[in-house]
Amino acid sequence: MSFKFVKKVISPSELLQMYPIPEKDAIVKKERDNQIKEVFTGGSDKFIVIIGPCSADNEDSVCDYISRLAKVQDKVKDKIIIIPRIYTNKPRTTGEGYKGIVHQPDPEKEPDLQEGLIAMRKMHLRAIAETGLTAADEMLYPENWPYVEDILSYVAVGARSVEDQQHRLTISGMDCPAGMKNPTSGDFSVMLNSCVAAQGNHTFLYRAYEVQTSGNPLAHTILRGAVNKHGQSIPNYHYEDLIRLLEMYNERDLANPAVIVDANHANSNKLYYEQPRIVREVLHSRSVNSDISGLVKGVMIESYIEPGNQKVSNHVYGKSITDACLGWDESEKLIYTIADHL
């Protein structure tokens, strides 16, 4: 019933010194950041597609996948900004199972947080260098932000973290769009209150320092569906849900109202193959209501090279070892479908 301090891990400054972002890639990231931010501030009418594996479990297959995305991005660049998901931290409902590459650089070996932090940064840097696409990651552990703050273009706060004060306050110090998911209960008020907190300025303890933040005006909402007391999934991507969210935004004094619709999780009842249908419905809702079109800035899709998921021991290249994902062929078609309907 106590903590065992195993070893002191590498500091953010040491890791950034060991694996700095090359100047040419830093320029690419700055350009990408500006393009993405313009979508959330209303300066651009491009559509955001945040897409990629449930968990970024293998550097080679993840970078292979993102290289494929980069070719598609070039074809749809006039309408869509693709942000690849490189999710290196994975929340586990019961605390069991694979927690992401930060915990286990090799999913079949024991946790090694030191090597995990290195693997996380190396994967993100390789993806930028090989594809020119800067990524999204989940901010599961607020203390990890300094390890990746110079390489991420988007951050998401998950349904289990969005009510946590440390997450909200840390987001208030970030200079990138941050999506706050609705909690598993589905309560929109919790999600919007999280945005209020993240957009405000705060003083708090962070990594052994008293820090002050100026607020993040790009904090926004993500709809991912809910789960009721019987364990049943309740989707919240329908037209009526978007209207309700719009009305609740209008009741609050929030900068840059925006929502990203997560097509998987409780919105699809984790039936990954339903994601294209859900995305098409969201696009239809945007097409019939200009206010919804202005609010819905993009979608989030779980996708990998091979469809479905597998046990860690199966070793199928490019197939998820956590939640089931859409395969590449369907994913590519879906991105072109999105572009055709914008």
pLDDT at 295: 98
And the tokens for 215? Answer: 């607020």
State in Å, rounded, how far the first CA of the chain is from the last one.
56
> What's the rounded Cα separation, in Å, for the pair 254 and 321?
38
168 vs 284: CA distance, rounded Å = 32
- What is the C-alpha to C-alpha distance for residues 2 and 210, in angstroms, rounded to an integer? 26
Name the average pLDDT for the chain.
96
- The beta strands (E) that lie in the chain are given as 47-52, 80-84, 135-138, 152-157, 178-181, 202-206, 209-213, 219-223, 226-227, 233-234, 259-262, 296-302
Q: Rounded CA gap, 198 and 216, in Å?
A: 6
**Tokens standing for residue 298:** 């993009």
Give the pLDDT confidence score for residue 125 in this predicted structure: 98
Q: Please say whether the beta carbons of 283 and 239 come within 8 A.
A: no
Residue 180 has pLDDT above 80, yes or no: yes
Over its C-alpha atoms, the chain yields an Rg (Å, rounded) of: 19
pLDDT in tens, 201-230: 999 999 999 999 999 999 999 999 999 999
Is pLDDT of 37 > 70? Answer: yes
Sign of the four-CA dihedral 252, 257, 260, 261 = positive
- Residue 204 CB neighbour total at 10 angstroms: 16
pLDDT for position 93: 74
- Average pLDDT rounded to a whole number, residues 70-98: 91
Phi-psi region at 180: left, alpha or beta (left = phi > 0; alpha = psi -120 to 50): beta
Query: What angle do helix axes 23-41 and 113-131 make, rounded to 10 degrees?
Result: 80
3-state secondary structure (DSSP) of residue 271: coil
| pLDDT value, residue 66 | 98
At 43-77, the pLDDT tens digits run 999 999 999 999 999 999 999 999 999 999 999 99
**Per-residue model confidence (pLDDT) at position 238:** 98
Higher pLDDT, 91 or 256: 256
Mean pLDDT computed over 314-340: 97
Helix (H) or strand (E) holding 61: helix 59-76
- pLDDT of 1 strictly over 70: no
3-state class of 317 per DSSP? Answer: coil
Residue 335 · residue 301 · CB < 8 Å = no
Q: Looking at residue 2, what is its pLDDT?
A: 84
d(CA 31, CA 225): 32
CB 282 within 8 Å of CB 300: no
* Count of CB atoms situated within 10 Å of the CB of 313: 8
Residue in the structure block whose two tokens are 């962070």: 206
